[in-house]
Chain A
Amino acid sequence: MKAKGIVHRYGDNIDTDVIIPARYLNTSDPKELAEKCMIDIDKDFASRVRTGDIIVAGKNFGCGSSREHAPIAIKASGISCVIADTFARIFYRNSINIGLAIIESHEAAKDIEAGDEVEVDFDRGIIYNLTKNKTYKGQAFPEFMQRIIKAEGLINYINSK
């Protein structure tokens, strides 16, 4: 499994209220949510983002509310992977459960800049910065979570048991 795309860069503590503000939570339609994704912190994100793009952020990405609408909005906007220094617990769990690729890497989160072209190799836990010609080590998932991801989410995983 691999992801490759152009980077949208954010800082620390990006909370689920800015990923998808509560005022838009009266729907759970992924397309509608994607249109409002990041609107409170990055107004043009929805119009700028291209399929395959990658989000890179600092620590505690996805903190705050448990709304699954947040990873759903990111995934539906076309983002292929989120790289962060660290993720908030519920966001981490939700991303795995809905099949949004995420990876933690301290080095990558520090070094990658907006506009860089980045490739992620999930099987090996390696992140390549094609623009800067650099390589970073990411944290691979424990085996149990890999099984859920391979089944493309928790629901399929339960069905396959």
Chain B
Amino acid sequence: MGMTMTQKILATHAGVDYVSAGDLIEVNLDLVLGNDITAPVAIKEMDKLDSKQVFDKDKIALVPDHFTPNKDIKSAENCKCMREFAMDNDISNYFEIGEMGIEHALLPEKGLVVAGDVVIGADSHTCTYGALGAFSTGVGSTDMAAGMATGKAWFKVPSAIRFMLTGKPEKWVSGKDIILHIIGMIGVDGARYQSMEFVGDGVMNLTMDDRFTIANMAIEAGAKNGIFPVDEKTIEYINDHSTKAYTVYEADEDAEYEKTYVIDLSKIKPTVAFPHLPENTHTIDQIEDIKIDQVVIGSCTNGRIDDLRAAAKVLEGRRVAKGMRAIIFPATQNIYLQAIEEGLITTFINAGAIVSTPTCGPCLGGHMGVLAAGERAVSTTNRNFVGRMGHVESEIYLASPAVAAASAITGKISGPEELGL
């Protein structure tokens, strides 16, 4: 029996020729990630270890992105704890807020993850790097502590679901619509403990930013990881961002999949997930008037340059509805800068939106756009759980940047077509 792409990467990192689903293995890690919420817990755990040394100061990434710039005193204490740990241990990949970004946009951009890597991060959206053909998965703080100290982690080898993508998405259909469509189809535990492997001709019609968005939300289907094959676009991205050596893995022809779904990308419509689960999806044409109070465009799911460009195309020359708060946060300093150079930020401000420094901020109801009771937001983030962006009686509708931008203009959930675009 052959191996899936994920299984092959895991086998190599476990130092064995072959693994099969269900095997418990210990693998060597190429990178261990933590943020200002999870790293302080890991640092405390690491302190309980007999050996308090980090395994490799160049293979740990620490990113203060959640409650930064420090939103209150407690957050400041957490960031201080992480910063001191980074300095004491001479961690090369510690990113202070001036060079910062949301971790899952930042790490690929800094070239810290390449094809074939195994990465764990104490953040569930660590699965994002599957877009690069790497195995990456979210873990908790104790796993992060053990990873920082030993350079290893234990895994149960996952089985896989294969998503065979064909065709080309229509205008205004992006990676976000594709992954929301898939989650709507298989449910929030549809891929629990499994790999989601995306294959097929349709992959080449997806930009790297589309792929990051799709892999990012694999966790919203309960998956252990989401992974894309490595093609020319991946190699180009890696060469543009990294000097690290990469390895291309391909699934065996006789690899075993628990299920295969064939998805024609040309049939997918702009999709919105209603409160309070990402699986409650509706296509834009089925949605009646739903008035909204706030639009959020950004996050590790949709804060990349493609996303900002899509939003700008919709907002260009228009004004957000009266009483609407439109908040746009580029995912990294580089993306921010690029958006300035391309004139996107001017477009946003002229349209009546605000632009924030890169931060997780509103995505997790931290700061910079918390919702009041009864308020509704259309957000390009990844979770619409009860209370995720603020009051327990607020509501979040997940959508693409294009839909979010159009909704900001009309004041209700709308696709760009409603604006004649």
Contact = CB atoms under 8 A, between A and B. Distances in A.
Given A17-B388, A25-B37, A155 B48 contact: yes
Interface string A137-161: 0000010100000000111001100
Interface of B: 24, 37-38, 40-41, 44-45, 48-50, 66-67, 71-72, 74-75, 78, 121-124, 126, 138-143, 145-146, 149-150, 154, 188-189, 192-193, 219, 222, 224, 277, 364-366, 370, 383, 385-388, 392
A30 to B, nearest CB: 10
A86 interface: yes
Given A40-B392, A154-B143, A23 B365 contact: yes
Contacts of A40: 386-387, 392
A88 B123 contact: no
B180 to A, nearest CB: 16
Contact of A22 (B74, B277, B364): B364
Q: Is the interface of B mostly helix, strand, loop or mixed?
A: loop
Given A28-B40, A89-B193, A97 B140 contact: yes
B274 to A, nearest CB: 14
A66 B189 contact: no
Contacts of A23: 365-366, 370
A97 B38 contact: no
A93 B139 contact: yes
Contacts of A93: 139-140, 143
A41 interface: yes
B50 to A, nearest CB: 5
A94 interface: yes
Interface in A12-34: 13, 15, 17-18, 21-23, 25-28
Contacts, number: 127
B385 A17 contact: yes
A29 to B, nearest CB: 10
Interface string A79-99: 000000010111001100110
Given A22-B364, A28-B40, A88 B222 contact: yes
A34 to B, nearest CB: 15
6 contacts: A15-B385, A22-B388, A23-B366, A65-B123, A67-B37, A69-B37
A59 interface: yes
Contacts of A41: 386
Listed residue (A13, A21, A26, A159) with the most chain B CB atoms within 10 angstroms of its CB: A26
**Which of B74, B149, B189, B392 neighbours the largest number of chain A CB atoms within 10 Å of its CB?**
B189
B366 A66 contact: no
A66 B122 contact: yes
Contacts of A90: 124, 138-140, 219
Contacts of B364: 17, 22, 25, 65
A26 B78 contact: yes
Contact of B124 (A59, A64, A69, A154): A64
Given A40-B392, A63-B189, A66-B124, A144 B140 contact: no
Interface residues on A, range: 35 or more
B124 A26 contact: no
Contacts of A17: 364, 383, 385-388
Given A86-B189, A88-B222, A89-B192, A64 B385 contact: yes
Contacts of A18: 385-387
Given A97-B140, A159-B49, A69 B41 contact: yes
Given A18-B387, A65-B123, 15 more contacts: A13-B189, A13-B277, A15-B385, A25-B67, A40-B387, A60-B188, A60-B192, A66-B122, A67-B38, A69-B41, A86-B189, A89-B192, A93-B140, A98-B140, A159-B48
A159 B47 CA distance: 12
**8 nearest interchain CB pairs?**
A94-B140, A26-B74, A97-B142, A68-B140, A22-B364, A66-B124, A60-B189, A66-B138
Contacts of B146: 97, 154-155, 158
A27 B38 CA distance: 10
A17 B138 CA distance: 16
A68 B142 contact: yes
Interface in A29-76: 40-41, 59-60, 63-69, 71-72
Nearest to B42: A68
A64 B49 contact: no
A64 to B, nearest CB: 6
B139 A66 contact: yes
Of residues B41, B67, B224, B366, which shows the largest number of chain A Cβ atoms within 10 Å of its Cβ?
A: B41
